[in-house]
């Protein structure tokens, strides 16, 4: 009996991709529900095997239900990515602002291009942060399609990381003379660069994960059709 | 009743059965079948994602708790959920009155 229920949950599980904790929680709840349904049939006088078969039949085919489960996982992944955008982009800008105000900066005179890049990076970061916040709020609305939200969060995150990260790379390697001196002479500088690099990695990881979750949603929808 | 006909109203039906108090997934399914005299014949597997959707929208609060010696995920209607249920009832009353008026033999 247990085998039949477990097999059905496994059939569903192998089709799903998304945030681990939510996915595990949904599958555990499903397994519990199937056990309850089988127990109710047993209490009604059915043999264990038949009770389990009826519970599985009432539940519905895994291929039919996977898109509904996956939609929720996509929604949670989209919300998570929106949160990352809302927090990480502004945090990096604020962190660097604090460092500049604390006296850390390039020793050589600033060039106009450098100032433009700083403005571009600030504008991109605050815009992405605001969009992340807006998408986070939208993720609480049932009628906003989870796939659209997740795709938008992924695209905005990828574009933001490329623009802000690209501007940072240009500032460091193209227009930041004396940068290597800064790393050597100021112990805070390597930590700041490390944190910024880690922020880019977190954003790109989140974007990649979102893309994979959305792709899985498309796949289970195709398999159902 | 055809599952397709029910699906669009599933969220409201779930909110309605939780109005009486917190329940776990299978208890919600049982309550739906009981209150509909068994006429709601949708795959029970559609209820669990719907519960997560309502929880995501903050209309339900879900939490794992021990019920009858077993860990179960129990759902409670939130204040926003009560508001959404009231709104759904109003919309349904208006909609059904319109459809009834049109379908009624002239």
**DSSP per position, A129-154:** HHHHHHHHHHTT-TTS-HHHHHHHHH
CB contact (8 A) between residue B44 and residue A76 = no
Q: Please judge whether B53 and A29 are an interchain contact, meaning their C-beta atoms are less than 8 angstroms apart.
A: no
Residues 103-122, chain A, touching B (beta carbon < 8 A) = none
- The Cα A212–Cα A200 span in angstroms is 18
What is the spatial distance between Cα A186 and Cα A180, in angstroms, rounded to a whole number?
Answer: 10
What number is the average pLDDT over the span B87-101?
92
Nearest chain A residue (CA) to B47: A59
Tokens of B25: 């997934």
Cβ distance of A71 and B49 shorter than 8 Å? yes
Q: Enumerate residues 6+ apart whose C-beta is below 8 A from B1.
A: B36, B39, B40, B41
**Cβ-defined contact of B25 to A79 (cutoff 8 Å):** no
Residues 44 through 63 of chain B touching chain A, CB cutoff 8 Å: 44-50, 52-54, 56-59
CA dist A145 and A108 (Å) reads 50
Q: For strand B60-67 and strand B70-77, is the pairing parallel, antiparallel, or unpaired?
A: antiparallel
Please give the radius of gyration of chain A, using alpha carbons only, rounded to the nearest integer.
Answer: 25
Top-ranked range on mean pLDDT: pick from A116-125, B2-11, B83-92: B83-92
pLDDT band at A210 (very low <50, low <70, confident <90, very high): very high
Neighbours of A101 (CB within 10 A): 9
Residue A177 has a pLDDT of 55
Predicted confidence at residue A95, as pLDDT, reads: 87
Q: Which band of pLDDT confidence, cut at 50, 70 and 90, is reported for residue A182? A: low
Per CB-CB distance under 8 Å, the chain B contacts of A69 are 48-49
What pTM was estimated for this model as a whole? 0.89
Task: State the pLDDT at residue B54.
Answer: 96
Q: Which residues of A touch B44 (CB under 8 A)?
A: 33, 37, 58-60
* Residue A9 near chain B (CB below 8 Å): no
A29 vs B53, B56, B73: nearest CB: B73
Q: How far is A13 from chain B (nearest CA, A)?
A: 13
ipTM computed for the complex? 0.89
Which neighbouring-strand residues pair with B61? B76
Rounded to 5°, angle at Cα A69 from B91 and B85: 20
Mark yes or no for CB contact A65/B72 under 8 Å.
no
Positive or negative, the Cα torsion across B66, B68, B72, B76? negative
Q: How confident is the model at residue A106 (pLDDT cuts 50, 70, 90)?
A: low
């Amino acid at each position: 009996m247990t085998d039949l229920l477990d097999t059905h949950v496994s059939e569903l599980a192998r089709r799903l991709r998304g945030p681990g904790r939510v996915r595990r929680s949904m599958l555990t709840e499903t397994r519990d529900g199937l056990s309850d349904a089988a127990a109710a049939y047993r209490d009604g006088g059915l043999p264990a095997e038949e009770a389990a078969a009826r519970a599985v039949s009432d539940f519905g085919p895994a291929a039919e239900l996977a898109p509904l489960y996956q939609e929720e996982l996509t929604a949670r992944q989209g919300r998570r990515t929106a949160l990352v955008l809302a927090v990480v982009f502004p945090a990096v800008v604020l962190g660097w602002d604090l460092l500049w105000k604390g006296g850390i900066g390039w020793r050589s005179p600033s060039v106009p291009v450098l100032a433009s890049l700083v403005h571009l990076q600030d504008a991109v970061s605050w815009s992405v942060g605001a969009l992340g916040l807006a998408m986070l709020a939208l993720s609480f609305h049932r009628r906003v399609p989870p796939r659209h939200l997740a795709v938008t969060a992924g695209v905005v995150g990828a574009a933001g990381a490329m623009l802000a990260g690209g501007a940072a790379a240009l500032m460091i390697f193209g227009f930041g003379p004396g940068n290597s001196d800064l790393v050597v002479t100021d112990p805070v500088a390597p930590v700041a660069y490390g944190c910024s690099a880690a922020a880019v990695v977190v954003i790109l990881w989140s974007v990649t994960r979102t893309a994979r979750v959305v792709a899985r949603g498309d796949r289970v929808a195709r398999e159902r059709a | 009743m055809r599952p397709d006909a029910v699906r669009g109203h599933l969220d409201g039906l779930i909110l309605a059965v939780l109005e009486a108090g917190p329940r776990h997934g299978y208890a919600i399914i049982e309550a739906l079948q009981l209150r509909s005299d068994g006429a709601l014949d949708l795959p029970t597997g559609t209820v669990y994602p719907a519960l997560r959707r309502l929880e995501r929208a903050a209309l339900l609060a879900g939490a794992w708790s021990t019920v009858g010696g077993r860990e179960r995920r129990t759902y409670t209607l939130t204040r926003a959920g009560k508001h959404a249920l009231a709104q759904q009832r109003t919309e349904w009353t208006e909609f059904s009155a319109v459809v009834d008026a049109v379908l009624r033999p002239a």
